[in-house]
């Protein structure tokens, strides 16, 4: 049943043939879409390279690694998230690439590292497959050369930093907490900087949420970031046209049933569910900021008018930390812009 797999993986599968076969049969009984062909292809294409890399460094560790990855992957291959017939080819390809690139780290804590990779890739692919690819490439570029010496904690912290850089704005706070403790050359590569980051950079970024790491100052005029949210019937979070304001000190949107954090900064935007609207009611935004949306698709800041045709049917806006959120009369989506503070 091993097929054309590496000698390291073949040895583990042979030694524990009955055990692994029982696991496969149990999984197949729960999910009939799990086929021997799909599982063998996953073993050959994804787990085999990992086993070979781990064996080259510590042959005794291969059994434990495969034991964990086998169990983690079975339901995901069965549900066609991983394997040759994946419902998300980017998710499957990125996981395969990172398992191999980070194999020495996987060998130390296979359940934790592999689980973190799966979770991060799921979040990124949900937002945008291109961001998942970017995150994967940056993680592999930084960690593969140092995978034998880096700690698991460092790798997970780096993952949060790069996830923020790739557009998961919800990771910004954690990223800025973790970044100063990571090697400066890692941060330079992870954030694509032309200079070595220092304490002053992290302090500046903490004070200016809309600022990107490579920028010396916020933009002089509003800049389009993108859309966030959408109609629940088409995969979005909102069951009704959303209202915006603040909840728990964060910029938020609510459809009357649930409240969502509008996480946004210079790199991207997300809708992150906070809880029930009854427990997280919206509060008014900061009215001291002279930022408004006008009929016809205009953002007006301190008397200066900036055209944004996408906002033609805008009816409300909230500003916080250099980000302007705008809701329309005709859309379940929320528009987000980088917007400097003029008072």
DSSP string, 205-224: HHH-TT--TT-SS--SS-EE
Q: Tokens standing for 132?
A: 């998942």
CA distance 207 to 196: 19
- Kindly state the DSSP code that residue 72 receives in the 8-state scheme: H
Q: Higher pLDDT residue, 182 or 292?
A: 182
Contact status, residue 2 vs residue 13, Cβ threshold 8 Å: yes
According to DSSP H, which parts of the chain are helical?
7-15, 17-30, 36-42, 48-57, 62-78, 89-101, 103-108, 110-127, 129-143, 152-165, 172-178, 184-190, 199-207
Per-residue pLDDT averaged across 34-39, rounded? 93
Per-residue pLDDT averaged across 38-51, rounded? 95
Per-residue pLDDT averaged across 128-150, rounded? 95
The pLDDT assigned to 1 comes to 44
Buried b / exposed e along 40-50 (16+ C-beta atoms within 10 A): bbbbbbbbbbb
- For residue 228, give the 3-state DSSP assignment: strand
Contact status, residue 242 vs residue 327, Cβ threshold 8 Å: yes
CA distance 291 to 272: 24
CA distance 249 to 241: 22
Phi (first) and psi of residue 319, to 5 degrees: -110, 140
In the chain, the largest separation of any two C-alpha atoms, in whole Å, equals 75
For 56-83, the pLDDT digits (tens) are: 999 999 999 999 999 999 999 999 999 9
Question: Domain locations in the chain?
Answer: 7-207, 223-338
The pLDDT assigned to 2 comes to 45
- The winner for highest mean pLDDT among 149-163, 300-314, 321-335 is 149-163
Instruction: Answer yes or no: pTM beyond 0.75.
Output: yes
pLDDT grade, residue 143 (50/70/90)?
very high
């Amino acid at each position: 049943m091993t097929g054309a797999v590496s000698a390291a993986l073949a040895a583990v599968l042979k030694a524990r043939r009955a055990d692994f076969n029982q696991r496969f049969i149990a999984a197949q009984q729960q999910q009939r879409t799990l086929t021997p062909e799909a599982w063998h292809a996953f073993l050959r294409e994804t787990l085999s390279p990992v086993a070979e890399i781990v064996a080259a460094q510590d042959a005794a560790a291969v059994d434990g690694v495969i034991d964990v990855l086998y169990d983690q992957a079975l339901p995901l291959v069965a549900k066609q998230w991983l394997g040759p017939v994946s419902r998300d080819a980017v998710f499957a390809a990125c996981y395969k690439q990172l398992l191999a690139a980070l194999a020495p780290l996987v060998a130390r804590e296979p359940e934790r590292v592999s689980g973190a990779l799966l979770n991060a890739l799921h979040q990124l692919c949900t937002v945008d497959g291109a961001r998942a690819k970017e995150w994967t490439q940056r993680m592999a570029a930084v960690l593969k050369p140092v995978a034998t010496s880096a700690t698991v904690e460092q790798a997970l912290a780096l993952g949060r930093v790069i996830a923020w850089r790739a557009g998961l704005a919800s990771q910004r706070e954690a990223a800025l907490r973790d970044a100063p403790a990571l090697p400066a050359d890692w941060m330079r590569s992870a954030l694509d900087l032309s200079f070595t980051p220092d304490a002053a950079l992290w302090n500046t970024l903490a004070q200016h949420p809309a600022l990107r790491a490579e920028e010396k100052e916020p933009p002089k005029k509003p800049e389009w970031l993108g859309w966030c949210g959408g109609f629940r019937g088409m995969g979005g979070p909102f069951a009704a046209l959303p209202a915006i304001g603040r909840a728990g000190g964060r910029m938020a949107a609510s459809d009357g049933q649930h409240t969502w954090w509008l996480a946004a900064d210079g790199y991207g935007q997300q809708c992150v569910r906070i809880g029930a609207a009854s427990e997280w009611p919206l509060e008014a935004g900061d009215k001291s900021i002279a930022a408004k949306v006008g009929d016809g698709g205009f953002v007006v800041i301190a008397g200066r008018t900036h055209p944004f045709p996408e906002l033609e049917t805008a009816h409300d806006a909230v500003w916080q930390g250099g980000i302007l959120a705008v809701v329309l009369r005709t859309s379940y989506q929320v528009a987000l812009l980088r917007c400097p503070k003029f008072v």
